[in-house]
Amino acid sequence: MSSDSEKLPRLLTPADVREIADRLDVRPTKVLGQNFVHDANTVRRIVRSAQLGPDDVVMEVGPGLGSLTLALLDAGNQVIAIEIDAKLAAALPDTVARLRPQRQGSLAVLNKDALTLRPGDLILDDDSHLPAPTALVANLPYNVAVPVLLTALERFASLKRVLVMVQAEVADRLAARPGSRVYGAPSVKAAWYGQVERAGAIGRQVFWPVPNVESGLVRLTRADAPRTGGELGVELAAGVPPTAREVFAVVDAAFAQRRKMLRSALAADFGGSARVEAALKRAGVDPTARGERVDIDGFIRIALALRTSAKNAQNQ
Question: Could you report the per-residue pLDDT of 95-108, keeping only the tens digit for each?
Answer: 999 999 999 999 99
Q: What is the mean pLDDT of residues 40-52?
A: 95
| Mean pLDDT (whole number) for 27-43 | 77
- Strand pairing class (107-110; 194-202): unpaired
What pLDDT sits at residue 108? 97
Q: What is the DSSP letter of 8?
A: S
Lowest mean pLDDT among 3-12, 163-172, 175-184, 298-307: 3-12
How much is the average pLDDT of 192-204?
A: 95
The whole-number average pLDDT for the span 36-42 is 90
Q: Which ranges of 51-144 would DSSP assign to H, the alpha helix?
A: 67-74, 86-99
| Residue 38, helix vs strand vs coil | coil
Angle at 177 between CA 213 and CA 286, to 5 degrees: 135
Beta strands in the chain (DSSP E): 36-37, 57-61, 78-82, 107-110, 135-139, 161-167, 194-202, 207-208, 215-222
CB 102 within 8 A of CB 82: no
259: amino acid identity, one letter: R
Where do the structural domains in the chain lie, given as residue ranges?
A: 4-222, 237-315
pTM of the predicted structure, to 2 decimals: 0.90
Tell me the fold of 4-222.
Answer: Rossmann fold (3.40.50)
Q: Choose between 159 and 239: higher pLDDT.
A: 159
Cβ atoms of residues 299 and 250 within 8 Å? yes
| pLDDT value for 316 | 63
Instruction: Write the class of the CATH domain 237-315.
Output: mainly alpha
3-state secondary structure of 202: strand
Q: 290 with 316: CB under 8 angstroms?
A: no
For β-strands 161-167 and 215-222, DSSP reports them as: antiparallel
Measured CA to CA, the distance from residue 130 to residue 120 in angstroms comes to 10
pLDDT for 1 equals: 41
Distances from the Cα of 140 to the Cα of 26, 137, 149, 171, 273, angstroms: 18, 9, 8, 11, 40
**pLDDT (0 to 100) of residue 2:** 44
pLDDT exceeding 70 applies to what percent of the chain?
A: 91
Amino acid at 37: V
